[in-house]
Structure 1
Amino acid sequence: MRQYRRQRNGFSIFSRSISRVACAAFFVAATSVSAANENVANQSTVNKSIAAGFVHAQGQQIMDAKGDPLLLRGMGLGGWMLQEGYMLRLGNLGQQHVIRAKIEALIGAEATQAFYDAWLANHTTKADIDAMARWGFNSVRLPMHYNLYTLPVDQEPVPGQQTWLGKGFAMTDELIAWAKANNMYVILDLHAAPGGQGNDLAISDRDPTTPSLWQSDANQQKMIALWRKLAQRYANEPAIAAYDIINEPNWGFEQADDKNGCKETQNVPLKKLLQDVTRAIRSVDKNHLIIIEGNCWGNNYAGVLPLFDPAEQDSNIALSFHKYWNNNTRRDIQSHLELREKYNMPLWLGETGENSNLWFTDAIALVEGENIGWAWWPLKKLGFNNPLEIKPNAGYLALVDYWNGKGEKPSAAAAKKALMQLATQDIHFANNQFHPDVIDAMFRQPHSTATLPFTQHIIGPRGGVVSAVDYDMGRSGYAYRDNDSANYHVATGGQRTPWNRGTQYRNDGVDIAFDAQKKRHYVNHIEAGEWLEYTVTASKAGRYGLFAHTTAASEGQVMVILNNGKPINTAIAPSATWQAQALGEVELQQGTNKLRLTTVQGGYELLNLQFKP
């Protein structure tokens, strides 16, 4: 089973993964216009007339620069400024500082710094943002690590003062330039706050042996100063859609056993910090939309709202919620909808993902149906259920085995070579594997039940071969059917459902394995009731012999082939080795044909379908 990002506990409403095919996309274009120059008064309230050219809140709606409703469709750049162990197949080494220490122990401090410099330079580039715009995204959420912008409090030369670092600001400037070139917005998100904002350690790179954000006034003052600095720098930058003040606070203030703040009823320290940061931002920037997140990974707003009393109330604030591994019905987001209505504030799904295509489609259809924008997570990682997949070199995989206690310790030279190849080549956009099915599930499928060929299957005079894993692209129940197609373990209280057990090639429920020796993918774990549909194009009408390249360990496997709706019943003979078995004859019409393979009794594996004249 794949390594999952986070384990969720206890919160009942808890709402918390070039192309061979042209993916149709519903694209909401973002408009960027020049910001009006304006002196900002040192005050905590927002003027009723926000400077022209900025994304802003208007009642329960997020509006664009022209004052038209804006539905944000975005992606979070997880793993760039802030690594998490699961993204690198290092689940046991969750926090970035732990990963860094392990690297340094192998290759030394100087080489480790070179690795991280290369990582920051190559993980996300203009090519990534250009591709996001082509696919249909109109925004990008930047998860920021504070230590790229300022020193940790215990490293400040003068306690209580702030030392500013150029690296983070330069990276942010560059991302904004890439986004503006594509008419996209940027949301700044403080993902790792000084000291760390919760007991889910990896998401904020928290060291539990040092004071957390909530246990240190110095950490809180640094966070406030950082947001004031960011707001001052970007006060007149309309390409920034919003400031997402703090990612996923998860801390029990009232009860010691409430580890992640899901039972919190007051959230007094969180509310105060949100107030202090908002006031600091408004002292230098009254134009930008501010996004706040509740406790319990961004979902528990008990005691937080209203954020200010009526005399100080800020009308340019939106609520964020995060959604992972639960069901996709209106009931599952009802409490958030009620907050939007009660406090007359926009609602934004600030982070979600790490699931199957079916879940992605259903979640986006749900929130867009409620006029809620979203930001998915993440763009890329060492894993299959995101638009881009990082394919690591063999040396790095050997290093992972060592760190996970499954292999021998590599030499310093071998470790350095593998890590530098990962950071200079493997993570770069040009070498990432693009998953068109993920993009299709996010942009086209929420609005359409039509299916598309995953790749072109041409059957000519000499026949042709259709790879089993290249079934059509589309919704579950229309392009395929699999008995396990998504992970709902937070809602069901059960185990994490594996959907594609092989975590290979595609992100649907269809189970796909990889034969490393023969370098080919095939469908396995085929169960009764599951089916796959293929669009094949015949160059001319004719009769063909149909063969299935299969292997089966026992007797009784049966499939039904529907050729343009006409059934062909056949049994699979048991074979311990891969063999092409005759299924019968099919009559193909010239042009497009639909072939559906339905399993009546499972237990076999399928490599391809072969057409012979």
Structure 2
Amino acid sequence: MMLAISDFDTTKPGLWQSETNQKKMIALWKKLASRYRDNPWIGAYDIINEPNWNFTGSNKNGCDENSNGPLRDLMVAVTKAIREVDTNHLIFIEGNCWGNNYNGIFPLWDDNLALSFHKYWNYNDKASIETMLGYREKYNVPIWMGESGENSNVWFKDVLTLVESNNIGWAFWPMKKIDNIAGVASVTKIPEYDVLLKYWRDGGQKPTPEFAKKTLMKIADNYKMENVTVKPDVVDAMFRQVQTDDTKPYKKNTVPGKIVATYYDLGTNGKAYFDNDFVNYRSVTGKDERWNLGNSMRNDGVDILPCKDKDSNGYQVSFIEDGEWIQYTVDAKQGNYNVAIRYSSEKAEGKLYVEIDGIKSKEITLSATAGDNKWKTVILSDIALKSGSNKVKVVFEKGGFNLNYFDFAINKTKK
């Protein structure tokens, strides 16, 4: 049976049900501190991640606890053990309820503590961190966003803008994750790993120990930085986009030539693209909203699926809705262009136009191709581009189709 991250084996005593287990934890932290006490590359000790326990309340994650007495007692005991061997390192503590419920934890018991909180799937306004800001002010204690992530690039940009503008340091989880778009790096999944997952989830024929070990060691090897796929759009959102709303090319697009639909600019919603679904606020709204409905290639609101059409880069823009748009930075030879648009559509009749410097092209209709995997090319003519860099916005007046690429060719009949 596969367990969620915060679950435990209910057939055995947990940490809070066993004094012996708590003593083991205290002894372990003393041993760790003894080993690392003189190492400057250890930034801090984080005593316990997301305790999530209902000591007296009804919420299974401890979100309605008012005292958190056992949690405080254990963290005090661990701190005392650490300080017996290490008086140098900073110690992070985390509240109950995903690290955020600090009721009953104060007053603090050490002069080199910091508070860690975790932030996921909620609004990125000051109200969302007001409680932690209040603790920092009242108790003169550093605060740190020790975990965040698992959302769209827009959410990443907004949360980091929020915490950095309030002088709060941060860490993201995870940096690497198997077959994902919402991390700095994606780890390649192998078919054998799916066999293990199926067994853990559904039972059935048990893989041999040799098979399991070989599979997991291959996955571990895939986690090496030289083997992961770095996600440039995520990196751009977390660092550059926090500083500016300017867009920049995802890839160098040169025309005459082909522009792949999924190579739209790096930038936020409303600047590099416009999509109706671009962020997940499920902690507040109760709706688990997917921003990239295809969950492929990029972590923006633009919906991307794998593509099997000829001459594709392996991906296509899909789930296009009325009024959405995508923008490309195009390095062009000056001229008037015909643009071959490669698209498919099951039933819907789509419409789009191109806009450059506020000037709109004529609108072109994309008739249904009788299948999402049946591709067709139509020509949009008379697109004037200046020499050098152009911002080309493709506006979807009416959606319902899939896009593979745009092929720009100079119209030699036009001067």
When normalised by structure 2's length, the TM-score is 0.92
Q: State yes or no: 1:222 paired with 2:18.
A: no
Which of 277, 281, 297 matches 2:98?
Answer: 297
Secondary structure of 1:575 counterpart: coil
**Cα distance in 1, alignment partners of residues 217 and 16 from structure 2:** 39
Which residue does the alignment assign to 1:548? 341
Which of 544, 568, 573 matches 2:367?
Answer: 573
**Cα distance in 1, alignment partners of residues 81 and 90 from structure 2:** 14
- Decide which structure has greater helix share: 1
**Cα distance in 2, alignment partners of residues 390 and 250 from structure 1:** 29
Which of 287, 295, 301 matches 2:88?
Answer: 287
Post-superposition CA distance 1:37-60 (Å, at most 9, x none): xxxxxxxxxxxxxxxxxxxxxxxx
**Cα distance in 2, alignment partners of residues 220 and 277 from structure 1:** 9
Which residue does the alignment assign to 2:67? 266
Unaligned runs of 5+ in 2: 411-415
**Cα distance in 2, alignment partners of residues 523 and 379 from structure 1:** 26
Compute the displacement of 1:241 (Å).
Answer: 1.6
**Cα distance in 2, alignment partners of residues 375 and 261 from structure 1:** 23
Q: State yes or no: 1:366 paired with 2:162.
A: yes
**For this pair of structures, how many residues does the alignment match?**
403
Which residue does the alignment assign to 1:113? none
Compute the displacement of 1:560 (Å).
Answer: 2.4
Matching residue's letter, 1:455: K
Secondary structure of 2:43 counterpart: strand
Which residue does the alignment assign to 2:316? 522
Preserved contact between residue 150 and residue 173 of structure 2 (Cα < 8 Å): yes
Which of 296, 299, 302 matches 1:510?
Answer: 302
Matching residue's letter, 1:584: S
Secondary structure of 2:118 counterpart: strand
**Cα distance in 1, alignment partners of residues 308 and 212 from structure 2:** 26
Which residue does the alignment assign to 2:140? 344
Which residue does the alignment assign to 1:422? 218
Post-superposition CA distance 1:80-135 (Å, at most 9, x none): xxxxxxxxxxxx612xxxxxxxxxxxxxxxxxxxxxxxxxxxxxxxxxxxxxxxxx
What is the RMSD of the two structures over their aligned residues, measured on CA atoms?
2.1
When normalised by structure 1's length, the TM-score is 0.63
Post-superposition CA distance 1:153-179 (Å, at most 9, x none): xxxxxxxxxxxxxxxxxxxxxxxxxxx
Which residue does the alignment assign to 1:354? 150
Post-superposition CA distance 1:379-404 (Å, at most 9, x none): 11112210111111233335544554
Post-superposition CA distance 1:424-483 (Å, at most 9, x none): 543332221110111111111111101110000111xxx211111110001111111111
Matching residue's letter, 1:212: G
Which residue does the alignment assign to 1:318? 114
Q: State yes or no: 1:490 paired with 2:276.
A: no
Compute the displacement of 1:412 (Å).
Answer: 4.2
Distance 1:275 1:449, change over 3 A: same
**Cα distance in 2, alignment partners of residues 448 and 230 from structure 1:** 42
**Cα distance in 2, alignment partners of residues 277 and 414 from structure 1:** 39
**Cα distance in 1, alignment partners of residues 31 and 221 from structure 2:** 34
**Cα distance in 1, alignment partners of residues 216 and 47 from structure 2:** 33
Which residue does the alignment assign to 2:2? 93
Which residue does the alignment assign to 2:187? 390
**Cα distance in 1, alignment partners of residues 217 and 87 from structure 2:** 44
Preserved contact between residue 537 and residue 592 of structure 1 (Cα < 8 Å): yes
Preserved contact between residue 193 and residue 216 of structure 2 (Cα < 8 Å): no
Which residue does the alignment assign to 2:413? none
Which of 243, 254, 259 matches 1:466?
Answer: 259
Distance 1:410 1:302, change over 3 A: closer
Q: State yes or no: 1:534 paired with 2:328.
A: yes
Matching residue's letter, 1:529: G
Compute the displacement of 1:565 (Å).
Answer: 2.7
Ranges of 4+ aligned residues in structure 1 off by more than 6 Å: none
**Cα distance in 2, alignment partners of residues 535 and 400 from structure 1:** 42
**Cα distance in 2, alignment partners of residues 263 and 605 from structure 1:** 47
**Cα distance in 2, alignment partners of residues 266 and 365 from structure 1:** 33
Q: State yes or no: 1:595 paired with 2:396.
A: no
Which residue does the alignment assign to 1:253? 55
Preserved contact between residue 248 and residue 294 of structure 1 (Cα < 8 Å): yes
**Cα distance in 2, alignment partners of residues 429 and 305 from structure 1:** 41
**Cα distance in 2, alignment partners of residues 277 and 555 from structure 1:** 63
Preserved contact between residue 348 and residue 401 of structure 2 (Cα < 8 Å): no
Post-superposition CA distance 1:165-216 (Å, at most 9, x none): xxxxxxxxxxxxxxxxxxxxxxxxxxxxxxxxxxxx524x732211111111
**Cα distance in 2, alignment partners of residues 275 and 317 from structure 1:** 11
Preserved contact between residue 393 and residue 426 of structure 1 (Cα < 8 Å): no
Which residue does the alignment assign to 1:563? 356
